[in-house]
Chain A
Amino acid sequence: MKKKKNILSVLSPYAYITPISLILLTFVAGSLIIAVCFSFTKYNIITPAKFNGLFNYRKLLRDDKLRLCIMNTVKISVMAVPLQILTSTVLASLIAARKNTFLGKFAKAALFIPVLSSSAVVGTIWKAILNGGHPAVKFLFGLFGIDPTMLLGSSTSAIITLSMLIVWKSMGYYMIITLSSLMSIPENYYEAAKVDGANSWNLFSRITVPLLKPTLILNTFLAIISSMQVFDVVYTMTGGGPSMSTTTMVMYAYQLTFKGSKAGYAMTVSNVLMLMVLVVVLFQQRFMRREASEI
C-alpha cells in the first residue's frame, strides 16, 4: 500500500503539469519550430513548401516595407508603454486610497471593462465615435483643439490615435496588477513613516514606489511585448493606412500570408518579431533578477 502511495506521489505532479505542457509544446514550441522551418521555404499555404535557403532572409534586408512596419511598431511602443504604466500606476494609487468606497469599487470595475472587450469591437466602436461627427464628441475634442473626424486621416495623427486607444484599452489590466501589489504593502510601513513625520510625497516616493518597482518593471515589459503584437485595433480602425503609416509587423505578416500568398516570407518576418520579443524578455529577466537580488 505504501509503495502504491509512493508511485502515486511521484506521478501526480507530472500528471498535473502534463495538460498545459502538451498545450504549450503543441501550440507554442510546435508553431515556433514550424515558423522557423517554413522561413527557409517558398510557401503560399496552398501548395507544398519548397526549400529556398536563405532567400527570405536576404529579402528581409532590402524590404523597405518591413523597415517601415518595424518603425511603426516601435513608435506605438514608445508612445503607448510609458503612458500605460503612468496612468495605470496613478489610477491604482487613487483607487487604493479609496478602496472601500463605492467610487473606488466602481472605478476599478469600470476601468477593467475595456480589457475584457474584444479589440476588434473596441476598434470599430472608436472609429464610429471619431468619425461619427456627433456634436458632443466634437465638443469634447474641441476643448483640446482637435477635430476628431480628422484623427485617422493623417499618417501622423493616426498612429498617435491608435497608441492612445491601446493605452485606454489596456491600462485597466496593468492597473489591477499594480493595485494588487499596492494592497500587499503592509499598512504599518506607512504608519511608522507618518510617526517619523513623512508627508504624502515622502510616503509615495520612499515606500510605495520602491516596493512597487518589481511590479512596474513587470508591467513595463508586459506592455512592451503586448504593444509589439498589436493587430486587431489597427485592422479595424485604419487597415494599416493611411499610406501604411499604421501597419505593424503582425499586420504585415498577416497581409503577406493572406493577401500576398507569401506565407514563407511572412514567417521570416514573424521570426524577426519573435527575436525582438525575445530580446525584450531577456532584458526583463535580467532586470527582475537584479531586483530580486537587491531585495
Chain B
Amino acid sequence: MMKKRLISTLLCTSMIAALAVGCGGNNEDDGNSGGDAKSGSDKTTLTMWLPPLDKDTEGNFKPLLADFEKENNCEVKMELIPWDSYEEKWSTSISAGEGPDIGYMYAEMYPTYISSGAVVDLTDMVEDADYDEYLYLDRGEMMGGLYGIPIVTGVPFVLYYNQEILEDLEETAPETWEDFARICEKATKDTDGDGEIDQYGYAVGLNSGDMSNLYMLNSYIYSLIWQAGGDIYADDLKSARFNDKNGVEAIEFFKSLKDYMPENVMSLSGSDAFTTIFGAGKAAFGVTRSSQSQETLFKESYPDLKWDYVTSLKNVGYGTFGAADSLSVMSACENPDLALKLIKYICSSEFMSEYHKVAPGAPLTKTEQYAGDPKMERIVTEDRDKWRPLQAGPCGSEILENLASHIQSIMEGKMEVQEALDESAEFANETLDEYWADNEE
C-alpha cells in the first residue's frame, strides 16, 4: 500500500515537472523565431514564412537558394503555413515576438502590420533600377510606402467561357456588360426538355463555408465595381466609396444576373460553383483565379470542356482583381539589407526562371521569359492593365467581410442594393473613423 502510494506520488510529481517544462519558454533558436541568429560558424539565419505556393514549395525553393546561401554565408529557414490558418499564425506569432525575418503577405494583411510598425518600408532601400527590372514593384506600394516586392502576381480572376455553349448560341466572347448579360440570358435554359433549367448563364457561388467571404468579392464583385468606375475606399483611405453611384450600378448589375445563376447560388461556394457547374459544362461563364498552367490543369480536370477566357469585361473601364502577394522584410529582422537582398534574389530572373519551370507563373522581372501555357500569356502582356490588386486600406478584412455579408443579403432578397451598400459603408466609415482617430493621435 505504502509502495503504491509512493509510486503514485512520484508519478504525479513527474507530471507536474513535465507540465512545467512544457509550459516553460525555450530560449534556444528553434528555427521559427524571428530575428536572424548567428550559428556557431557565424552563419546568419534568415527565417521566411510562406503559404504553400505549389505542391512542394520547400523542395522547389531550397535547391535554388543554395547559391545565395553560400555567397552570403547565411542559411534560409523556410516555414510553410497552411492557407487556412495563415493570418492566425501571423498575428499570434508576431505578438509573441516569434515572427519571421521575411514574410509572404497579401493586401488584406498589410494595413494592420504597417500601422503597427511590424513591416519595413523599403522605399529608401530600393533603387530606380529596381523599378525598371522588377515589373510589379509599384504594386508593393501602399499606405504611403513600399512594403513588399510582389512574388505571386499575374494570376487575376478572369471570366472563363464555354466555347461550345457560345457557339450554339451564335455568340462570340463578350466584351461589355450588355454582351455578358445577353449571353447569360440566352444560355440559361432547359436543354433536355424535362421542364427544369439545367444550363446556366453564370456559375456563381456565394457560400463562404470553405473559404473566406473575401473570395466572393475577389471573384465577382471587385471586377464589377472597378469596371463601373468605382472603388472600395476613397483615395485618402478615410472613408468608403463602394456605395456611390458606380458601386450601386455594379451591384445592381450583379443582382440582375441572379436569374442566370444556379438556383442554389447561395448554398454553393465559389469553387464548387466553378468546378461542378462551369467545369461540368453546365454554364456559359464561370470565374476563378487564373494560372499560367491553366491549359494543363483544365485538360486534367475538365477534359471535355472547350474553353477560353476574357480577362475583363468593359463598362466604364476595365478591371478585375489580380493579387500582388509580396515578400516583406519584418521590422524584427536584424539584417534588413540581407533580407531585402534575398527577396530580390528570389524574385529575380535567375531564381524565377528555374522556379517557374516547375511551378509556372508570370515573369516578375523584365529579363525573365514567359514560361507558362501560351493561351494564358496575354494576361501578362496585352491585358496587363486590365487587372490590378486591391487597395490596401485600414481595417480591410473587417470592412470587406461586412460588405460581402451585405451582398449576400442583397442576393437573398433581404435588402435593396442602395440600402445594403449604405449600411455597409456606414459600418466601414465608423470603423475607419475609429482607426484614424487612434492613428492620427
Give the residues from 108 to 142 in chain B that come closer than 8 angstroms, CB to CB, to chain A: 112-113, 116-118
Residue pair A258, B213 in contact (C-beta under 8 Å): no
Q: Which residue of A lies closest to B215 (CB)?
A: A239
Contacts of A150 in B (CB 8 A): 263-264, 266-267
Residue pair A15, B405 in contact (C-beta under 8 Å): no
Is B6 among interface residues, defined by CB-CB distance under 8 A?
yes
Residue pair A47, B9 in contact (C-beta under 8 Å): no
Proximity string of chain B (251-270) to chain A, C-beta cutoff 8 Å, 1 when within and 0 when not: 00000000000011111100
If the complex has contacts A46-B94, A155-B414, are A131 and B268 also in contact, measured as CB distance less than 8 A?
Answer: yes
Q: Which residue of B lies closest to A48 (CB)?
A: B95
If the complex has contacts A236-B209, A242-B412, are A45 and B264 also in contact, measured as CB distance less than 8 A?
Answer: no
Size bracket of the A interface: 35 or more
Q: What is the CB-to-nearest-CB distance from A126 to chain B, in angstroms, rounded to a whole number?
A: 10
Residue pair B9, A12 in contact (C-beta under 8 Å): yes
Partner of A243, one of B23, B264, B405: B405
Residue pair B395, A260 in contact (C-beta under 8 Å): yes
Contacts of B190 in A (CB 8 A): none
Give A238 to B408 CA distance when docked, in angstroms: 12
Residue pair A46, B112 in contact (C-beta under 8 Å): yes
Partner of B412, one of A19, A26, A130, A243: A243
Give A44 to B113 CA distance when docked, in angstroms: 10
Q: Which residue of A lies closest to B10 (CB)?
A: A15
Q: What is the CB-to-nearest-CB distance from B326 to chain A, in angstroms, rounded to a whole number?
A: 18
Contacts of A108 in B (CB 8 A): none
Residue pair B92, A19 in contact (C-beta under 8 Å): no
Is B409 among interface residues, defined by CB-CB distance under 8 A?
yes
Partner of B398, one of A9, A42, A259: A259
Q: Which 4 A-B pairs have the closest CB atoms?
A: A153-B266, A239-B208, A153-B267, A260-B398
Q: Which residues from chain B sit less than 8 Å from chain A, CB to CB?
A: 2, 5-6, 8-9, 12-13, 15-16, 19, 23, 87-88, 91-92, 94-95, 112-113, 116-118, 206-213, 263-268, 272, 276, 395, 397-398, 401, 404-406, 408-409, 411-412, 414, 438
19 extra A-B contacts, CB within 8 A, seeds A12-B5, A241-B208, A259-B87:
A5-B2, A44-B112, A46-B91, A46-B113, A46-B118, A47-B116, A127-B209, A131-B272, A149-B267, A239-B209, A239-B213, A243-B406, A243-B409, A258-B87, A259-B398, A259-B401, A260-B395, A260-B397, A261-B112
